[in-house]
């Protein structure tokens, strides 16, 4: 009776070990099948383009809003990420001060798991007025460098586009204050970037012809 009990326990332990291996394999397979950005037609490369008019960058208790923005990239094959090159234009801080955003070797990698990876240096030059802007007399300089932020979400649209929503938080930035009109502070890790209401819509084209994309 004791021998039978010991044998049964041994068999149960062996079975548990086998189940553990199977569960590990199943978990790996699930992760390996993570969502990817794809061309619905299977045709690549896909030129990816998006615009926005009301994204807001909040830093040092001030808001920077740009009303003419573009994000462009290429989907060379199905992938868990797309690298986008941003251009922000017609910007103002506090709704008043002219502001320019210069990208130095910069890009944004948007991933299917919901992160935005900022790469390079983003420099925001704030001017007191249009005259100072023309004279390139900078009042405040805000810089952000490479870092990963999140989280964004995606919606696959019936017309073959992808809408990106989100409020990116805990962004690290520094400020050089050349005027008393600059907000207080020289370093923060609580800056935010809020994508406009309605989201940013990513569209795809190949050879100038619409090429539907989705993430799944």
Q: Are residues 58 and 24 in the same domain?
A: no
Phi, psi angle pair for 198, to nearest 5°: 95, -15
Q: Are residues 100 and 182 in the same domain?
A: yes
Bridge partners of residue 119, in order along the sequence:
107
pLDDT in tens, 120-134: 999 999 999 999 999
Q: Are residues 27 and 48 in the same domain?
A: no
Q: Are residues 7 and 102 in the same domain?
A: no
Q: Are residues 204 and 120 in the same domain?
A: yes
List Cβ neighbours of 29 (8 Å cut-off, separation of 6 or more): none
Give me the domain span that covers residue 3.
1-33
pLDDT band at 17 (very low <50, low <70, confident <90, very high): very low
pLDDT of amino acid 111: 94
pLDDT band at 33 (very low <50, low <70, confident <90, very high): low
The pairing of strands 115-126 and 213-215 is unpaired
Closest residue by Cα to residue 143 from 196, 187, 202: 187
Q: Are residues 19 and 76 in the same domain?
A: no
Q: Are residues 29 and 44 in the same domain?
A: no
d(CA 70, CA 88): 7
Domain count within the chain: 2
Helix (H, G, I), strand (E, B) or coil at 72: strand
pLDDT in tens, 169-191: 999 999 999 999 999 999 999 99
pLDDT in tens, 40-66: 999 999 999 999 999 999 999 899 999
Q: Are residues 15 and 93 in the same domain?
A: no
Closest residue by Cα to residue 196 from 156, 166, 155: 166
Q: Are residues 1 and 86 in the same domain?
A: no
Q: Are residues 22 and 61 in the same domain?
A: no
Q: Are residues 15 and 52 in the same domain?
A: no
Q: Are residues 52 and 10 in the same domain?
A: no
Lowest mean pLDDT among 9-23, 144-158, 197-211: 9-23
Helix (H, G, I), strand (E, B) or coil at 5: helix
């Amino acid at each position: 009776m004791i021998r039978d009990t010991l044998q049964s326990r041994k068999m149960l332990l062996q079975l548990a070990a086998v189940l553990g291996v199977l569960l590990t394999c199943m978990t790996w397979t699930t992760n390996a099948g993570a969502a990817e950005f794809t061309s619905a037609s299977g045709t690549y490369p896909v030129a990816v383009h998006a615009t926005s008019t009301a994204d807001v960058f909040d830093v040092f208790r001030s808001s920077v809003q740009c009303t003419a923005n573009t994000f462009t990239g290429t989907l060379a094959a199905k992938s868990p990420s797309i690298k986008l090159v941003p251009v922000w234009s017609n910007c103002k801080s506090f709704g008043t001060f002219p502001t320019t955003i210069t990208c130095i070797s910069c890009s944004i990698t948007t991933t299917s798991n919901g992160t935005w990876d900022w790469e390079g240096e983003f420099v925001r030059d704030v001017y007191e007025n249009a005259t100072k802007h023309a004279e390139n007399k900078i009042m405040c300089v805000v810089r952000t460098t490479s870092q990963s932020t999140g989280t964004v979400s995606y919606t696959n649209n019936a017309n073959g586009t992808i809408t990106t929503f989100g409020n990116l938080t805990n962004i690290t930035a520094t400020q050089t204050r050349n005027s008393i009109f600059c907000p207080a502070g020289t370093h923060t890790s609580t800056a935010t970037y809020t994508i406009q209401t309605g989201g940013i819509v990513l569209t795809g084209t190949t050879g100038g012809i619409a090429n539907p994309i989705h993430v799944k």
